[in-house]
Structure 1
Amino acid sequence: MAQSNSRKMTAIPRPPRRPPVAHFERTHGRSLPVVEEQSAGGLVLKIENGRPLVAVIARRNRAGKIEWCLPKGHIEPNESAEIAAIREIAEETGITGKVVIPLADIDYWFSSLDRRVHKIVYHFLLEYVSGEITVENDPDQEAEDAAWYPLKEVANILAYPNERRVVSIAMQLLYPDAYVADDRYGDYA
Structure 2
Amino acid sequence: MEETSAGGLVVDRSGEAPRGAVIARLNRAGRVEWCLPKGHLELDETPEQAAVREIEEETGIRGRILHGLGTIDYWFSVEGKRVHKHVHHYLLLATGGQLSTEGDPDHEAIDVAWVPLPELDQKLAFPNERRIAREASVRLLDSA
Structure number with the higher strand fraction is: 2
Residue 163 (structure 1) aligned to one of 118, 121, 129: 129
For structure 1, list consecutive stretches of 5 or more residues without a partner in the other structure: 1-34, 177-189
Report the CA distance between 1:175 and its aligned residue.
2.4
Partner of 2:31: 65
Q: TM-score, normalised by structure 1?
A: 0.73
- Is 1:121 the counterpart of 2:87? The answer is yes
Q: Give SS of 1:155's match.
A: helix
Q: Which of structures 1 and 2 has the bigger CA Rg?
A: 1
Q: Work out the CA distance in 1 between the residues paired with 2:20 and 2:32.
A: 18
Q: Is it true that 1:146 corresponds to 2:112 in the alignment?
A: yes
How many angstroms apart in 2 are the aligned matches of 1:74 and 1:112?
A: 16
Deviation by residue 1:96-145 (Cα, 9 ceiling, x = unmatched): 00111100100110011231100000000000010000001211000000
Query: Could you say which structure has the greater relative contact order, defined with CA pairs below 8 angstroms and 6 or more residues apart?
Result: 2
Indicate the residue corresponding to 1:77 in structure 2. Answer: 43
Q: Distance in 2 between matches of 1:80 and 1:122?
A: 10
Q: Deviations over 1:43-88 (max 9, x none)?
A: 1010132210100000000000000001000011210000000000
Q: How does 1:162-181 map to 2 (within 5 A)?
A: 162-175=128-141
**How far apart in 1 are the matches of 2:140 and 2:60?**
24
Q: Percent identity?
A: 54
2:63 corresponds to: 97
Structure 2 distance, partners of 1:49, 1:171, is: 15
Runs of 4+ in 1 over 3 A off after TM superposition: none
Give 1 or 2: higher helix fraction: 2
- 1:53 matched to which residue of 2? 19
Count of aligned pairs: 142
TM-score, length-scaled by structure 2 = 0.95
| TM-fit CA distance, 1:170 | 1.4
Q: Residue type of the partner of 1:106?
A: I
1:171, distance to aligned residue in structure 2 (A) = 1.9
In structure 2, list runs of 5 or more residues that go unmatched: none
